[in-house]
Chain A
Amino acid sequence: MSNLVWLVPFFPLVGGLILIVAGSRIGEPRAGWLATLMTATSLAVTVAVYFDLLGMPAEERSHVVTLFQWIPVGALQIDFALLADPLSITMALFVTGISSLIHLYAIGYMHGDPKFAKFFLYLNLFVFSMLMLVLGENLLVTFLGWEGVGACSYFLISFWHTRNSAAVAGKKAFVTNRIGDWGVMTAMFVAFSAVGSVSYKAINEAALEGTISQTAISAIALLLFVGACGKSAQLPLYFWLPDAMEGPTPVSALIHAATMVTAGVFLLTRVGPVLTESYAWVPDTIAIVGAATALFAASIAVAQHDIKRVLAYSTVSQLGFMFLAIGSGAYVAAMFHMVTHAFFKALLFLGSGAVIHGMHHEQDMRKMGALRVAMPVTAFTFIIGWLAIAGVPPFAGFWSKDEILLYVYADNRLLYVVGMITALLTAYYMTRQVIMVFFGAARWNDAATEHGAHGDFRPHESPKVMLVPLVVLACLSVAGGAMQLPFSKKLHFLENWLEPVVEEAERSIKGTWAYDNKYVLLIAASLVACTGIALSVAVYAKRRVPTIEPKVLENAWFYDATVARLVGGPGAAVFRGVTNFDARVVDGAVNGAGSLARGVGAQVRRAQSGFVRAYAVIISLGTVALLAWFVWRGWLA
Chain B
Amino acid sequence: MVRMAWVAGMKVMIAAASDSSILAFPILTALVLVPLIGAGAVLSFGRYRPEWTKLAALSSSVVTGALSLWVLQAFDPADAGFQFVSKHEWIPAWGISWHLGIDGISLFLVVLTGILFPLVIAGVDPHHDERPYLAWMLILQAGVMGSFVSLDLFLFFVFFEIVLVPMYFLIGGWGYDDRVYAATKFFLFTMAGSAFMLVGIVATALLSRDSVGEVTFDLVALAETGSLSITEGRWLFVAFAVAFAVKVPLFPVHTWLPDAHTQAPTGGSVILAGVLLKMGTYGLLRFGVYLFPEASVWARPALYTLAVIGILYGAIAATMQSDLKRLVAYSSVAHLGFIVLGTFALTDQAITGGVMQMVNHGVSTGALFLLVGMIYERRHTRMIAELRGLQHVAPIFAGFFMVVMLSSIGLPGLNGFVGEFLILIGAFDTARWWVIIGTFGVVLAALYLLWAYQRVFHGEPDEANQGFAELRLREGVLLSVFVAIIVFTGVYPKPMLSRIEPSVAALIEHVESRTDYQRPIQGEAGD
- A contact residues vs B (CB 8 Å cutoff): 68-76, 118, 140, 143-144, 147-148, 151, 154, 158, 161-162, 164, 166-168, 170-171, 174-175, 178-179, 181-182, 185-186, 188-190, 192-197, 212-213, 215-216, 219, 574-576, 578-579, 582, 586-587, 590, 594, 610-612, 615-616, 619-620, 622-623, 626-627, 630, 635-636
The residues of A that contact B392 with a CB separation of less than 8 Å are 161-162
Q: How far is the CA of A610 from the CA of B196 in the complex (A)?
A: 23
Minimal beta-carbon separation of A527 from chain B (angstroms): 46
Residue pairs across A and B with Cβ atoms less than 8 A apart, 16 shown, are A73-B352, A73-B353, A74-B348, A76-B422, A144-B413, A168-B454, A171-B450, A179-B443, A186-B436, A216-B527, A586-B254, A590-B255, A615-B191, A626-B196, A626-B199, A630-B199
**Given B206, B352, B413, B443, which contacts A148 in the complex, CB threshold below 8 Å?**
B413
**Beta-carbon contact of B442 and A171 below 8 Å:** no
Answer whether residue B488 sits at the interface, using C-beta atoms and an 8 A cutoff. Answer: no
Q: Is B103 an interface residue (CB 8 A)?
A: no
Stretch in B106-114, B134-142, B292-300, B489-497 touching the partner: B489-497
* Docked CA distance A158–B389 (Å): 12
A196–B203 CB distance below 8 A: no
**B411 contacts chain A at the CB level, 8 A cutoff:** yes
A181/B443 in contact, CB under 8 A: yes
* Assembled-state Cα–Cα distance A216/B425 (Å): 15
Q: Nearest Cβ in chain B — how far from A155, in angstroms?
A: 8
Which of B9-17, B121-129, B455-463 faces chain A?
Answer: B455-463
- Candidates A178, A192, A616, A630; contact of B443 at CB < 8 Å: A178
Residue from A72, A193, A576, A612 in contact with B428 in the complex, judged by beta carbons closer than 8 Å: A193
Q: Nearest Cβ distance between residue B287 and chain A, in whole angstroms?
A: 18
In the complex, A196 Cα to B525 Cα: how many Å?
Answer: 9
C-alpha gap A464/B192 in the complex (Å): 74
B435 at the interface (CB under 8 A from A): yes
Contact with A along B507-527 (1 / 0, CB 8 A): 000000000000011111111
Q: How far is the CA of A450 from the CA of B478 in the complex (A)?
A: 48
Pairwise interchain contact B199-A586, C-beta atoms closer than 8 A: no
| B401-444 contact mask (Cβ, 8 Å, vs A): 1 or 0 | 00000100001110001100110111011000001100110110
Q: Tell me the minimal C-beta distance from B495 to chain A in angstroms.
A: 11
> How far, in whole Å, are A186 and B493 apart by their CA atoms in the complex?
22
Q: How far is the CA of A164 from the CA of B460 in the complex (A)?
A: 8
Choose one: A140, A175, A626; the contact of B446 (CB below 8 Å). A175
Q: Which residues of A contact B198 (CB under 8 A)?
A: 623
Contact A71 B422 (CB under 8 A): yes
- Secondary structure type dominating chain B contacts: helix
Per-residue contact bits, chain B 280-320, to A (CB 8 Å; 1 contact, 0 not): 00000000000000000000000000000000010011011
Contacts of A578 in B (CB 8 A): 313, 316-317, 320
Q: Are B421 and A185 in contact (CB under 8 A)?
A: yes
CB–CB B320/A575 < 8 A: yes
Contact at A182–B457, with CB atoms within 8 Å? no
Residues of chain A lying within 8 A (CB to CB) of residue B202: 627
Binary interface profile of B, 373-407, with partner A (CB < 8 Å = 1, else 0)?
00000000000000001011001000000000010
Q: Is the CB of A590 within 8 A of B527?
A: no
**B353 to chain A: closest residue by CB:** A73
A72-B494, A182-B440, A612-B184 are known; give 19 further A-B pairs, CB within 8 A. A70-B494, A74-B505, A75-B349, A75-B521, A151-B406, A162-B458, A168-B454, A179-B443, A192-B425, A194-B525, A195-B523, A213-B526, A579-B317, A579-B320, A582-B317, A590-B256, A612-B188, A630-B199, A635-B207
* Residues of the B chain whose Cβ atoms lie less than 8 Å from the Cβ of A626: 195-196, 199
Contact residue among A69, A179, A587 (Cβ-Cβ distance under 8 Å from B255): A587
Chain B's nearest CB lies how many Å from the CB of A572?
8
* Residues from 175 to 207 in B contacting A, C-beta threshold 8 Å: 184-185, 187-189, 191-192, 195-196, 198-199, 202-203, 206-207
B189, B199, B321, most chain A CB atoms within 10 A: B199
Rounded to whole angstroms, the CA-CA distance of A216 and B522 in the bound complex is: 13
B372 within 8 A of A: no
Residues on B with beta carbons closer than 8 Å to the beta carbon of A164:
458-459
- Give Cα A576–Cα B413 distance, bound, in whole angstroms: 33
Name the B residues within 8 Å of A168 (CB-CB). Answer: 454
Decide: A594 near B188, CB < 8 A? Known: A70-B493, A168-B454, A579-B317: yes
- The answer to whether A174 and B497 touch across the interface, beta carbons within 8 angstroms, is no
Docked Cα-Cα span, A186 to B505, in Å, equals: 24
When distances are taken between beta carbons in the complex, the residues of chain B under 8 Å from A161 are: 391-392, 457-459
Pair B501/A73 contact, Cβ less than 8 Å: yes
Residues of B within 8 A of A635 (CB): 203, 206-207, 232
Q: Nearest CB to that of A196 among chain B residues?
A: B523
CB pair A75–B188 under 8 Å, yes or no, is no
Tell me if A167 and B459 are in contact (CB < 8 A). Answer: yes
List chain A residues, Cβ under 8 A from B453: 171
Instruction: Tell me the minimal C-beta distance from A144 to chain B in angstroms.
Output: 4
CA distance A544 to B373 in the complex (A): 67
Known: A71-B493, A73-B422, A612-B188. A586 touches B428 (CB 8 A): no
Closest partner residue, chain A, to B321 (CB atom):
A579
Which residues of B158-186 are within 8 A (CB) of A?
184-185
List which B341-364 residues lie within 8 A (CB) of chain A.
347-349, 352-353
- The answer on a CB contact under 8 Å between A147 and B412 is yes
A619 in contact with B195 given A73-B501, A162-B389, A586-B252 (CB within 8 Å): yes
With an 8 A cutoff between CB atoms, is B447 at the interface?
yes
Residues A167 and B454 in contact, CB atoms below 8 Å apart: yes
- Does B480 lie at the interface of the complex (its beta carbon under 8 Å from any beta carbon of A)? no
B498 contacts partner chain A, Cβ-Cβ < 8 Å: yes
Is B90's CB within 8 Å of the partner chain A? no
If A71-B418, A73-B352, A75-B348 touch, does A186 touch B459 (CB 8 Å cutoff)?
Answer: no
Question: How far, in whole Å, are A171 and B450 apart by their CA atoms in the complex?
Answer: 6
B52 in the interface (beta carbon within 8 A)? no
Closest A residue to B441 by CB, please name it. A182
Contact across chains for B425 and A72 when beta carbons are under 8 A apart: no
B527 touches A194 (CB 8 A): yes
Residues of A within 8 A of B446 (CB): 174-175, 178
Chain B residues within an 8 Å CB radius of A622? 195
Complex: chain B residue closest to A202, CB-CB: B523
Instruction: Give bound CA distance, A168 to B450, whole Å.
Output: 10
**B451 on the A face (CB < 8 A):** yes
- Given A193-B428, A196-B522, the answer on whether A73 and B497 have CB atoms closer than 8 Å is yes
A216-B494 CB under 8 A given contacts A171-B450, A175-B443, A175-B447: no
A627 touching B199, Cβ below 8 Å: yes
Residues of B within 8 A of A69 (CB): 494
Q: Knowing A76-B426, A216-B527 touch, does A575 contact B316 (C-beta < 8 A)? A: yes
Tell which of B349, B439, B450 touches A186, judged by Cβ atoms closer than 8 Å.
B439
Given contacts A75-B522, A575-B319, A611-B184, contact A158 B458 (CB under 8 A): yes
Closest Cβ of chain A to B256, distance in Å, is 8
Give 4 closest A-B pairs by Cβ, nearest first.
Answer: A196-B523, A74-B348, A167-B458, A213-B527
